[in-house]
Amino acid sequence: MLKDKWGQLMRFLRNDIGIDLGTSNMLVYVRGKGIILNEPSVVAVNQKTGQVVAVGTEAKNMLGRTPPHIVAVRPIVDGVISDFEVTEEMLHYLLNKAQAISKKFLGPRVVVGVPSSITNVETRAVRDATKNAGASEVHIVEEPMAAAIGMHLPINEPLGSMVIDIGGGTTDIAIISLNGVISSKNIHVAGDKLNSDISAYIRNEFKIVIGEKTSENIKTQITSLLAEKTSFETQARGRDLITGLPREVVVTDSDIREAISHSIERLIEATKEVLEMTPPEILSDIMHRGIYLAGGGALIKGFADILKEEVKMPVYIADDPLTCVVRGTGIILEHLEKYKEVLIANEEDVSNKAH
Ligand code: ADP
Ligand code: MG
């Protein structure tokens, strides 16, 4: 009773904030308000002064339209926190937006989801950066765990659940039971790699160079891993390799299937490898309960079908796969006691994390 009252008082005094620091997108959840921010994880930096000029959507819109000394940085490239100061500025920006929406007296309590590939030093850097940005209490959770919680998988039970989170820089494949990761793999084959596969293919086949944004648009518009009766096509505009002038070509879904086939195979291979290192009891749970896909890559048309065919078990796409992690951090905030074992909560845990 007293504990309830204390909880209510603290909620009145401080915000509970969940953050997904994705390699492509960062999202913020505020308890009682829902997801209040969803922007690209991009920061524009003035190289002459070292100052951050813009963060998020504003920074992404500047891409390719700035003088040479202003560069866009993705601080969490390939799941690695590459630049501490920039990460801190980014967290400042996120916390300020959250605090502006819901004003509170004390510094917020924050749960941050980080890529599972991040090292101890980087985990500590994220915690310090979040503290410096004004948080009164910081908890760190690995993204595949947060994604599983966001999908309401029964991770507290002695029962195997399998999650594949296909993001921008990395794909996390994890099998979880009783609050712990039983077996996992993190590979650098995800959305960004598919984009570069597509631009390399178009360069080779059509002899034009296309930009990152164009290859991403092609990917999200016409990718379909299963050949369907009706084919899809789109125009791609780029620079002719020989003349240097703009040229437009028509790209079809069959081009894209070919362009990304190797990466798709690697995703499937990695999934099989994780299954192979899983103990039989847990494996039998997964056979029954299936595999859950999260992250933007879960939306690749036909991927769930192909994977199901390959591993001979059910494969499900999460509802709203791009928001699973941040919704997971929200659920953790609401039930911190229940989920305390999944958090990387103190210095000891950080230094015990094997790498
Ligand atoms: P991260 O967690 O690493 O920030 P996200 O889960 O936000 O990544 O996913 C971003 C990736 O998902 C990007 O590479 C984006 O191109 C890709 N993506 C988003 N929507 C689709 C779609 N409909 N089809 C294929 N890929 C998509
Ligand atoms: Mg993610």
Digitized pLDDT (tens) for each residue of the chain, 355 residues in all? 777 888 888 878 899 999 999 999 999 999 999 999 999 999 998 989 888 899 999 999 887 788 889 988 888 775 556 677 888 889 999 999 999 988 888 899 999 999 887 888 888 889 999 999 999 999 999 999 999 999 999 999 999 999 999 999 999 999 999 999 999 999 999 999 999 999 999 999 999 999 988 999 999 999 999 988 888 999 999 999 999 999 999 999 999 999 999 999 999 999 999 999 999 999 999 999 999 999 999 999 999 999 999 999 999 999 999 999 999 999 999 999 999 999 985 444 444 444 4
Q: Give helix 191-206 / helix 212-222 axis angle, nearest 10°.
A: 100
Q: Is the CB of 216 under 6 A from ligand 1?
A: yes
Rounded distance between C-alpha atoms, residue 297 and residue 206, angstroms: 26
Atom 6, ligand 1: residue with shortest CA distance: 295
End-to-end CA distance of the chain: 42
Q: Which ligand is nearest to the CA of 216?
A: 1
Residue 324 Cα, ligand 1 centroid: separation in angstroms? 12
Sheet strands side by side (includes 233-240):
208-209, 233-240, 246-252
User: Taking the CA atoms of the chain, what radius of gyration do you get in angstroms?
Assistant: 21
Note whether 143 and 325 are within 8 A (CB): yes
Tell me which residue has tokens 């992404």.
60
Identify which of 173, 203, 343 has the alpha carbon closest to the alpha carbon of residue 269: 173
Classified as helix, coil or strand, 64 is: coil
pTM for this entry: 0.93
Sheet strands side by side (includes 171-177):
180-187, 171-177, 161-166, 291-294, 315-317
Q: Is the CB of 16 under 6 A from ligand 1?
A: no
Atom 18, ligand 1: residue with shortest CA distance: 296
Burial 282-307 (b: 16+ CB within 10 A, else e): bbebbbebbbbbbbbbbbbebbbebb
Q: How far is CA 348 from CA 124, 144, 316, in A?
A: 11, 21, 36
Q: Is the CB of 197 under 6 A from ligand 1?
A: no
Ligand 1 pocket: which of 215, 219, 224 to mutate (most atoms within 8 A of CB): 219
Q: Which helix (H) or strand (E) holds 271?
A: helix 253-276
DSSP 8-state code for residue 286: H
Q: Is the CB of 87 under 6 A from ligand 1?
A: no
Tokens of 115: 């890529």
Q: Is the CB of 209 under 6 A from ligand 1?
A: no
Rounded distance between C-alpha atoms, residue 46 and residue 102, angstroms: 31
pLDDT at 150: 98
Q: Which ligand is nearest to the CA of 218?
A: 1
Q: Measured over all CA atoms, what is the biggest interatomic distance in the chain, rounded to whole angstroms?
A: 76
